[in-house]
Amino acid sequence: MKNKSIFVACDTSKINKIKKIVNQTKTNKLKIIPKFGLQFFYSKEGRGFLEKIKSDFWLDLKINDIPQTALSAIDSLKDLKKCKYITVHANGGLEMLKAVKKKSKKINKNLKILGVTVLTSLDNKSLKQIGYTKKVKQLVLKQADLIKKSGCDGIVCSAQEAKIIRKRYKNLLIITPGIRLPGDSSNDQKRIMTPKSAFENKVSGIVIGRSLTKGNIKNNTKKLLDHLGK
């Protein structure tokens, strides 16, 4: 668990719920960093909250657009001083990924750009429906090559692909969503894994949402600590 990161997905637009998640997942045994996605960022009070937050956070926007629009989007976020991670989607292509990484260096030297691969809600059948001819693992490896070549700091993929990516890239940040505590429902995720199994696959960090935020957050956090032997 040394130098491993845990991110809690704050998937709500309610400020009171966000504050509860952030406060009740705090523990001196692990550093748990909040991750804010589109639901909260697009909400009426979300942007203002992120301007004032005192702790590091991850802004999960999955930016995917033409290079100029993507780097302009990154530039518009420069006031979010505590933002440590931002996601861009590999589907935007090499030039977009490179443009975003280059811009990030100018606005915040501590900002890390993470490239998103195939979403964990998708499987081989889903990809075929969209029009892809490659299977999930093949496509994720292809996207990993693109992300590495662009100079981005890390990759977001399911824990099921993490092991093969780690073999190819020893020093790349690998962060995995689709994490569930043992016995929890998979909900809308297709490619899931437990926290312990994910770390055994050599990931750098995990994203855990409903397993922590649904129900009693403090009890859920304790279950996570017990599961990891902390």
Longest Cα–Cα distance of the chain, Å, equals 46
Task: List, run by run, the mean pLDDT of 10-residue segments along the chain (230 residues).
Answer: 81 95 91 95 94 94 96 93 96 96 91 94 93 93 96 92 91 91 70 86 92 93 90
Name the residue among 120, 125, 89 with its Cα closest to residue 187: 120
Q: What is the pLDDT of residue 192?
A: 75
Q: What is the pLDDT of residue 190?
A: 61
User: What does the chain look like in DSSP terms, one character per residue?
Assistant: -TT-EEEEE---S-HHHHHHHHHHT--SSS-EEEEE-HHHHTSTTHHHHHHH--S-EEEEEEE-S-HHHHHHHHHTTTT-TTEEEEEEEGGG-HHHHHHHHHHHHHH-TT-EEEEE-S-TT--HHHHHHHT--S-HHHHHHHHHHHHHHHT-SEEE--HHHHHHHHHH-TTSEEEEEEE--TT---TT-SS-B-HHHHHHTT-SEEEE-HHHHSS-HHHHHHHHHHHTT-
Q: Is-catalytic flag, 62?
A: yes
d(CA 182, CA 189): 15
The CATH number given to 5-227 is 3.20.20.70
Answer for the pair 58, 81: CB distance below 8 angstroms, yes or no: no
CA distances from 111 to 107, 153, 191 (A): 8, 9, 28
d(CA 198, CA 95): 31
Rg of the chain in Å (alpha carbons): 17
Q: What is the dihedral of CA 136, 227, 19, 62, to 10 degrees?
A: -10
Q: What is the pLDDT of residue 120?
A: 82
d(CA 157, CA 137): 10
Q: What is the pLDDT of residue 229?
A: 87
Name the catalytic one among 62, 101, 112, 148. Answer: 62
d(CA 163, CA 24): 31
Domain segments of the chain as ranges: 5-227
Q: What is the pLDDT of residue 121?
A: 86
Answer for the pair 175, 161: CB distance below 8 angstroms, yes or no: no
Q: What is the pLDDT of residue 98?
A: 96
Answer for the pair 208, 6: CB distance below 8 angstroms, yes or no: yes
Answer left, alpha or beta for residue 64, where phi above 0 means left and psi between -120 and 50 means alpha: beta
Q: What is the pLDDT of residue 1?
A: 47
